[in-house]
Amino acid sequence: MIVGHGIDIEELASIQNAVEKREGFAQRVLTDKEMDRFTNLKGRRQVEYLAGRWSAKEAFSKAMGTGIGKLGFQDLEVLNDEKGAPYFSKSPFSGNVWLSISHTEQFVTASVILEENHEN
């Protein structure tokens, strides 16, 4: 049963601006494992990666109904599986979490669906 759905969209330029103007912005948003991946990327791909994680975490907080104020960025971790698909490797939700992240030239969007596990 679906218990929550959250969507977020961000301008890549806003994330780029935050990185340039706020020292430690990426470290505030990304976990240690996410930072490992982030530091291996270059240029625009770094911004896309960070924006994708930001948007995914915002969408998750909306699906939970809490907003990011009650749920910290470090409480959530988004990694990639062997095929490259993003997934939440860390979250406070015990059921299934379905995540999709998409980029355009200007925007990143993420959608999160929370599904309870019911054993019959």
Give the active site residues: 62, 103
Q: Which residues contact 61 (CB under 8 A, 6 or more apart)?
A: 6, 67, 68, 70, 71
Q: What is the DSSP string of 26-41?
A: HHHHS-HHHHHHHHT-
Which amino acid makes up residue 47? V
Q: Are 111 and 6 in contact (CB under 8 A)?
A: yes
Q: Which of 73, 118, 105 is nearest to 92 (CA)?
A: 73
Instruction: Judge residue 51's burial from the number of C-beta atoms within 10 Å of its C-beta, 0-12 exposed, 13-18 middle, 19 or more buried.
Output: buried
Does 58 appear as a known binding residue? yes
Binding residue positions for Mg(2+): 8, 58
